[in-house]
Amino acid sequence: MILTCLEILEKSKVKVYLDDNYAFLLYQNDIHHYHLEEGTALSEEKYQDIIENTVYRRAKQKAIAILKFMNRTEKELRTKLKDADYTENIIDRTLDYVMEYGYVDDERFTSTYIRTRKNTKSKRQLQMELQRKGIKKELIDKILTIEYECVNDEDPEEMAIKKAIAKKTKGLEIQTREETQKLLAFFYRKGFDIEKVRKLL
């Protein structure tokens, strides 16, 4: 392998290219530590040393730091690592690592997301938000069924509608047909069951 380019970025970051292909991101200190120079050969041994002891180690640390701040879906974490200039191979390995230890679990994430929001949002809203986060539709549908079947008392969607009505009307009874139509249009846009809305207005 020939080290063909050291592309210096901001904050002492350096993109390293091997045989004209982007290989990994290091810092200036790493460049000096590993004695890397453009146009020189990089042995397989040194390459593996850099990957295992610097690049992959930092990718795991980065992933854990991201997850400490808040839970992420697999797609969200993958995007964050890609934005940090990690290669697909390193990202795959890092995701395998965090998933093995249960740090990333899309099913658990989906369950928590729906459970904590089902009393304020429609099923359609929840579905769209989760799909944007990279959760597969089949998994969303499965968890929606489980979470809405677990309810023993009031329908979560009806609870969400009641809360939204109270907020929109400030506790006052709706007087005019125009106000009613505006509310119906609002709930329709949010994906609520219109028959439930009509019942509760």
Q: What is the pLDDT of residue 105?
A: 93
Q: What is the pLDDT of residue 190?
A: 82
Other Cβ atoms closer than 10 A to 53: 10
Mean pLDDT of 170-175: 65
Other Cβ atoms closer than 10 A to 21: 10
Question: 3-100: which CATH number, 1.10.357, 1.10.287, 1.10.10, 3.40.50?
Answer: 1.10.10
Other Cβ atoms closer than 10 A to 168: 14
Residue type present at position 56 = Y
Phi and psi (nearest 5°) for 5? -155, 140
Mind listing the pLDDT tens digit for each residue in 8-29?
998 899 999 999 999 999 999 9
Collapsing DSSP to helix, strand or coil, 167 comes out as helix
Residues 6 or more apart whose Cβ sits within 8 Å of residue 103: 63, 64, 67
Q: Any idea which residue has 């899309």 for tokens? A: 106
Residues 6 or more apart whose Cβ sits within 8 Å of residue 17: 3, 4, 5, 6, 7, 23
Of the candidates 123, 188, 128, 201, which has an alpha carbon nearest to the alpha carbon of residue 155?
Answer: 123
Give the H or E element holding residue 114. helix 106-117
The domain limits of the chain are 3-100, 106-200
Distance CA 2, CA 4 (A): 6
Mind listing the pLDDT tens digit for each residue in 80-107?
999 999 999 999 999 999 999 899 999 9
